[in-house]
Structure 1
Amino acid sequence: MSISIVLPAKNEAEGLRRTLPALRSAYPDAEIIVVDDGSSDETAAVASAGGARVLSSPYSMGNGAAIKRGARAACGEVVVFMDADGQHGAEHIAALLAKLGEGYDMVVGARDASGQANFHRGLANAFYNRLASWMTGHEVIDLTSGFRAVRADKFREFLHLLPNGFSYPTTSTMAFFRSAYPVAYVPVEVSKRVGASSHIRPLKDGVRFLLIIFKIASLYSPLKLFVPTAAIFFVAGMGWYGWTFYETGRFTNMSMLLFSASVIVFLIGLVSEQITNLTYQKGDGRT
C-alpha cells in the first residue's frame, strides 16, 4: 500500500523538527504532507527543509480544515493522520498499518489515562467514549484521538461532514461506524508535546465539545436521542396529570403541553432519522 502521512500544523516548528526526521527515517518512501494552518512561526520553512510537501493557508482555518486539505491532496491509498507537536511517534505507525491490513478501514491510536492532557480532559473524553459506545453499539476506546490510519477512498466519502474545528476525529469515527466500515483501536503511548501550547481553550471549547455530544447523536442515530427525550416529556405529562387529577379532578394545560412536547420531539426525531439516512447515502454507495 502506498502511504501518505498528513500533519496539520499551526505554529509547530519545534515539534516538526523532532517529528519529520523520525518519519522520513522510518518511512522514506511515504508522502509526507504538512498543512500549515496560517502559522506565524517557521512551520512552513521547517517542514519544507524536512522534506515534506507543504500546503499553506493564508490564515488559520482550523484543525479540521487542515485535515480536509491534506486528505484531498494525499496520493496514497492509506492516509495516516498525526499531530505535528511531537506527541505521536513514528514508531507507532507500523502497528496501525498492521491492523489496517487485517481488513479494517480505520485504525485509531488509543491513548491511556496518562496520554490525556489533564484530568478534566480525561474525564470529558471518557464521557465521549461512553456516549459513542452507546450510540454505535461498539466499544469506542478513544473517540477524540487524532492519530489514525484510514483507507483514503473511504475517508474522502465523509469530507463534507467534517467540521473545520477540532472535532474531526469524533465525526469521522462516527461516520465510519454509521456506514459499516470496520474500525479498530491500537494502544499507543503519547509523548509530551513540544513547541507551542495547545490551541484548545478549556472554557470555549468545553461548550463546543458539549454541543458535539448532541451532534454525535443527531449525526449517527437521531432516534437514540429523541426517543428518550420524548419519553421523558411523556412520563412527566402522565405524572403531572395523575397528580392534578388526584388533587383537583381535572386535566390541566401543563399536562397537555408536556404531552404535545413529547409528540413533537418524537416526530422531529423521525424527520432527523430520514435526513441522516439521506446524508449517508453517498457513504453507503447509493449515489
Structure 2
Amino acid sequence: MILLIPAFEPDEKLNTLIESLQLTSNETVLVVVDDGSGPTSAEIFAYAQRQGAILVQHPVNLGKGAALKTGFSFIAENFPGHDVVTADCDGQHAAEDIYAVAREVGQKKSIVLGEREFSGKVPLRSKLGNKATALFFALSTGTWLNDTQTGLRGFPAEILPWLGKVPGERYEYELNMLLDALRNNIELQRVKIQTIYLNDNESSHFRPIRDSIRIYAPLLKFSASSLAGFAVDTVLLLIFTATFHQLLPAVVLARLGSAAVNFWINRQLVFTEGRTLPLRATVSRYALLAIVLLALNYELLTLLSSSGIPLLLGKIITEIVLFLVSFSVQKRFLFRKKSSKSSPFQHSQARHLVNTESPQGTIER
C-alpha cells in the first residue's frame, strides 16, 4: 500500500510509528511530506529515510491541507493506480489500525475513515472540538460522523485528482474534503480504531482560535449575518415606530427590512454558492422558510411555556434551536446547487493495494 504522512516539526513519535509499520515485511511504500519543518527536524527525517521512507519537502510551512495535496499529487504521478492511506505523525495512529483502513479501502470505492470512539483519557479540547465539528457537519449535510477530525483515512486511487481540487490549505481541508465528498456522491465508510493521545496531545500544531475560525467559518459568518439582521430590525423598528406611531406596521416593515438584509448577506457572503442560483427562486424559498420559522417560533415557545419553562429561558432555547435549523436548511437546500449524479471516480483499471517493494532510495523536492 501507499502510506502518506504529512509532518511539521515531528519528534521521535514519527520514527516510532515508522518502526512499528515494518515497511519491508509489509511491502508498504511510505511517503512523508516535510511541511517546512526546518533544520531542527532534519535528523528525524533522515532517520525516516534510512528506514525506507520517501521524503517530499516544502521549503516553508504551508499547512496540513497543502502537505496532503502535495502528497496526493506526488503519489498520483509516481505511483499511479494505487490507493492511499493517510496518517498523522504524532503517534495517534497504531500500525494495526492503519492496515485495517488499508484493507477496507482496497475493497470499496469510498473514502474510509478511521473512527475513534473517544473513550478513556481524552484531552477536553479534543473531545469538545470534535463534538462541535460533528454538529456542524450534521447541520451542513444531514449526516452524523462521530469523528470528523480523524487523520487516518483511506482513499481509492481514482479520486486523487479530485482531492487536489478540494479547497483549504490547513486544518479546514480535512473537513472540506468530507463535505465535498457527500456533495459529489462519494460514500464515507468507517472503521473503528483506537483512541490514542500521548502527553495530552501536546505535540499537536492545531491553533485553537485561528484554525477553529477556518473550520467553522460558514457557521461564524451565519452568526454574524443573524446579528446584523437583528441590529437592522431593531433600528428600523425604532424609526418606523416614531414615524407611524403604531406598533404593527412598524414591526412588519422592520422585519421585512431586516429579512432583506439577512438574505443579501447570506446569499453573497455566507453561502456563496447561492450567487449562481436564480434570484427569484431563492427569494421565494427564503420567504417560505421565514414563514415556517415564524410559525415554529410561536409553536415551540408556546410548548415550552406550557411546560413550565420561564418565558425568557424558553425564548433563548427557541432562538438557538431555530438558528441551527435555519443554518442547516439554508446551507443544505436554499443556497445550494443540485449536485450531478456523476462522481469524480474515473472509469479506469486502477489497481488496489498492489504489493509494492518498499523503496530504499529517496526522492527530495
Structure 1 stretch 71-80 or stretch 91-100: which is displaced more? 91-100
Aligned to 1:16: 14
Summarize the Cα distance change of 1:60–1:264 in structure 2 as closer, same or farther, 3 Å threshold: closer
What's the offset of the Cα at 1:280? 8.3
Q: Larger relative CO (CA 8 A, sep 6+): 1 or 2?
A: 2
Task: Write the letter of the residue equivalent to 1:165.
Answer: R
Summarize the Cα distance change of 1:120–1:47 in structure 2 as closer, same or farther, 3 Å threshold: same
What's the offset of the Cα at 1:100? 2.5
Q: Hey, what's the Cα distance between the residues in 2 that align with 1:128 and 1:24?
A: 34
Aligned to 2:190: 185
Q: Hey, what's the Cα distance between the residues in 2 that align with 1:8 and 1:80?
A: 11
Structure 1 stretch 151-160 or stretch 6-15: which is displaced more? 151-160
Q: Hey, what's the Cα distance between the residues in 1 that align with 2:170 and 2:206?
A: 10
Structure 1 stretch 24-33 or stretch 271-280: which is displaced more? 271-280
Q: Hey, what's the Cα distance between the residues in 2 that align with 1:196 and 1:249?
A: 57
Is the CA contact 2:83–2:106 (under 8 Å) kept in the aligned structure 1? no
Pairing of 1:190-269 with structure 2 (within 5 A): 190-193=195-198, 197-211=203-217, 213=219, 247-248=246-247, 250-251=249-250, 254-265=254-265, 268=268
2:111 to 106, 109, 125: 106
TM-score norm. by structure 2 comes to 0.62
Summarize the Cα distance change of 1:257–1:56 in structure 2 as closer, same or farther, 3 Å threshold: same
Q: Hey, what's the Cα distance between the residues in 1 that align with 2:187 and 2:159?
A: 11
What's the offset of the Cα at 1:152? 2.7
Gaps of 5+ in 1: 216-224
Is the CA contact 2:185–2:343 (under 8 Å) kept in the aligned structure 1? no
Aligned to 2:141: 136
Structure 1 stretch 247-256 or stretch 141-150: which is displaced more? 247-256
What's the offset of the Cα at 1:142? 1.2
What's the offset of the Cα at 1:179? 0.4
Pairing of 1:57-206 with structure 2 (within 5 A): 57-74=58-75, 75=79, 77-114=82-119, 118-193=123-198, 197-206=203-212
Which deviations, in whole Å up to 9, do the C-alpha atoms of 1:135-155 show, x marking residues without a partner? 223232211111100113214
Q: Hey, what's the Cα distance between the residues in 1 that align with 2:195 and 2:60?
A: 29
Summarize the Cα distance change of 1:96–1:46 in structure 2 as closer, same or farther, 3 Å threshold: same
What's the offset of the Cα at 1:72? 0.7
Aligned to 1:219: none
Q: Aligned to 2:91, what secondary structure does the other structure show?
A: coil
Q: Hey, what's the Cα distance between the residues in 1 that align with 2:87 and 2:262?
A: 44
Structure 1 stretch 112-121 or stretch 90-99: which is displaced more? 112-121
Aligned to 2:28: 30
Summarize the Cα distance change of 1:271–1:281 in structure 2 as closer, same or farther, 3 Å threshold: farther
Q: Aligned to 1:6, what secondary structure does the other structure show?
A: strand
TM-score norm. by structure 1 comes to 0.77
Q: Hey, what's the Cα distance between the residues in 2 that align with 1:161 and 1:280?
A: 17
Task: Write the letter of the residue equivalent to 1:271.
Answer: R
Summarize the Cα distance change of 1:14–1:285 in structure 2 as closer, same or farther, 3 Å threshold: closer
What's the offset of the Cα at 1:82? 0.2
Task: Write the letter of the residue equivalent to 2:254.
Answer: M
Is the CA contact 1:89–1:190 (under 8 Å) kept in the aligned structure 2? no
Q: Hey, what's the Cα distance between the residues in 2 that align with 1:130 and 1:24?
A: 38
Which deviations, in whole Å up to 9, do the C-alpha atoms of 1:64-114 show, x marking residues without a partner? 111011111112521100011221111012322333344241010111223
Task: Write the letter of the residue equivalent to 2:84.
Answer: V
Q: Hey, what's the Cα distance between the residues in 1 that align with 2:102 and 2:205?
A: 28
Aligned to 1:50: 51
How many residue pairs get aligned? The number is 269
Q: Hey, what's the Cα distance between the residues in 1 that align with 2:336 and 2:345?
A: 15
Which deviations, in whole Å up to 9, do the C-alpha atoms of 1:31-64 show, x marking residues without a partner? 2100011123223212211110000121111111
Task: Write the letter of the residue equivalent to 2:29.
Answer: E
What's the offset of the Cα at 1:183? 0.6
Aligned to 2:275: 271
Which deviations, in whole Å up to 9, do the C-alpha atoms of 1:183-221 show, x marking residues without a partner? 111111133347972211223333333326469xxxxxx
Gaps of 5+ in 2: 279-334, 347-365
Which deviations, in whole Å up to 9, do the C-alpha atoms of 1:231-286 show, x marking residues without a partner? x87xx79xx69x95894564476344214224435654532668975998996589
Cα RMSD after superposing both structures: 3.8
> Which structure: larger Rg?
2
Q: Hey, what's the Cα distance between the residues in 2 that align with 1:115 and 1:67?
A: 29
Is the CA contact 1:115–1:189 (under 8 Å) kept in the aligned structure 2? no
Task: Write the letter of the residue equivalent to 2:138.
Answer: S
